[in-house]
Amino acid sequence: MKLSTRGRYGLKAMFDLALHFGDGPISLTSIAERQAISVNYLEQLISPLRKAGLVKSVRGAQGGYMLAKAPEMITVGIILTTLEGPLAPTDCVADDEETCDHTHYCVTKVIYEKIYESIKGVVNAITLQHMIDDFHENSNHIIENICECK
Amino acid sequence: MKLSTRGRYGLKAMFDLALHFGDGPISLTSIAERQAISVNYLEQLISPLRKAGLVKSVRGAQGGYMLAKAPEMITVGIILTTLEGPLAPTDCVADDEETCDHTHYCVTKVIYEKIYESIKGVVNAITLQHMIDDFHENSNHIIENICECK
DNA sequence: TTTAAAGTTGACTCAATTAATCGGATATAT
DNA sequence: ATATATCCGATTAATTGAGTCAACTTTAAA
């Protein structure tokens, strides 16, 4: 039931981009340095985020990435789902999954559905803007190394 | 963010035992057959459940396992946690984990804590008795193969 | 008392997934 | 041109998950 580094690193990177929203393209190198992530690995994560329309890229020198929408339009849920797939405790309750072949009632599936709904409820309610507000209220404005959260 | 077969199979097995609560010891072989799980693997799962005081065993011929408490006293949460460890999305918010070495505020950790709390809220509120009631109301009383829920 | 059923334990294998690393290709400001 | 980027695919190393297996202990019943 753990998030992988894909989701955790990706969320950190997106938050970093959100803090720089409106500042023009931000290079992966600078994000990787601030967040202590391998650039090579970060490249792998930013690609699906771009394909999902969450960030846009500028190629070439002085290029980089920026959010494709305002921070209040991007939820933690869409970020994590893009990188990890559905945040469902089992495949049988994931949105894109066909249902089990069992015709009769499944008492465990009901439980997994409730877990899934509750997780979605949390992550879909939090946007990057909420994270920014939280950051400005509670941190000392230290952008570097949000947390390893291994 | 998936449950492993440990939690899923273990929950099925515990539900099976709950349906037979009061009937004396139930052999692993019979549970394994009804729930379509390998006996050898199930042996691995029942051991921690016994050590956690959720089931008790009777050794020897005609032996087997039974719930150590009434079904309404055993939550889905304690079963899953016993088999999977804390249902936390990251190690840094798991109960038994020491906190990150970072002294400053972590905006992502706050999110992971909310996810964790919401998951615990769901699984700790459901007991085996709830599952039994649900089963009797909505199924056709087919004990075998609750669901593979891969 | 013998036998077979059943629990108990730990080691072991195999496959899949995760987490990166690396090399090279393309694009573009300066 | 050149330095700085994004892009893309292949490869690898490490970890975890899932299941098997063998050996041993306990105990009911013949």
Q: What is the pLDDT of residue A105?
A: 79
Q: Which nucleotides of C are covered by protein (CB under 7 A)?
A: 4-11, 18-23, 26-30
Indicate yes or no: strand D within 7 A of the C-beta of A4.
no
Note the pLDDT of residue A146. Answer: 62
CA torsion, points A135, A138, A144, A146, in degrees to nearest 10? -80
CA of B142 to C1' of D20 (A): 30
Q: Does A106 touch chain B (CB under 8 A)?
A: yes
CA B133, B137, B138, B139 dihedral sign is positive
Q: Report d(CA A7, CA A35) in Å as an integer.
A: 14
Q: Say which DSSP state A142 is in.
A: -
Q: Is A145 exposed, middle or buried (0-12, 13-18, 19+ CB in 10 A)?
A: middle
**Nearest protein residue by Cα to C1' of nucleotide D29:** B61
CA distance B131 to B147: 14
Cβ-Cβ pairs closer than 8 A, A with B, add up to: 152
At B105, is the pLDDT very low, low, confident or very high (cuts 50, 70, 90)?
Answer: confident
How far does A60 lie from chain B, in Å, by closest CA?
31
Structure tokens at A99: 């249902």
Q: Nearest chain B Cα to A85, which residue?
A: B1
pLDDT confidence tier of residue B72, bands split at 50, 70 and 90: very high
The encoded tokens of residue B61 equal 């011929």
For residue A70 the two structure tokens come to 């305002």
pTM for this predicted structure: 0.95
What's the alpha-carbon Rg for chain A, to the nearest Å?
17
Specify the amino acid at residue A118: S
Contact A89 B11 (CB under 8 A): no
Q: Tens digit of pLDDT per residue, chain A (150 long)?
A: 999 999 999 999 999 999 999 999 999 999 999 999 999 999 999 999 999 999 999 999 999 999 999 999 999 999 999 999 999 999 989 987 666 666 667 899 999 999 999 999 999 999 999 999 999 998 876 665 566 655
Please report residues contacting nucleic strand C, using a CB cutoff of 7 A: A 4-6, 9, 38, 40-41, 43-44, 58-63; B 25, 27-29, 40, 43-44, 46-47, 50, 57-65
Phi, psi of B139, deg, nearest 5: -100, 175
Q: Answer for the pair B10, A10: CB distance below 8 angstroms, yes or no.
A: no
Report yes or no: A37 at the B interface, CB cutoff 8 Å: no
pLDDT digits (tens, 9 = 90+) for B12-64: 999 999 999 999 999 999 999 988 899 999 999 999 999 999 999 999 999 99
A124 touches chain B (CB under 8 A): no
Beta bridge partners of B31: none
Asked if B11 has any chain A CB less than 8 Å from its own CB, the reply is yes
Q: Which residue, among B85, B3, B107, B1, has the nearest Cα to A119 in the 3D structure?
A: B1
DSSP string, B17-47: HHHTTTS--B-HHHHHHHHT--HHHHHHHHH
- Given this model, what pLDDT does residue A79 score? 98
For chain B, percent of residues with pLDDT exceeding 70: 87
CB–CB of B115 and A114 under 8 A? no
Element (H, E) at B140: none
The alpha-carbon gap from B51 to the nearest alpha carbon of chain A, in Å, equals 22
Smallest CA–CA distance from A2 into chain B, residue: B89
Q: Is A123 left (phi over 0), alpha (psi -120 to 50) or beta?
A: alpha
Spell out the domains of chain B, with CATH numbers in brackets: 5-149 (1.10.10.10)
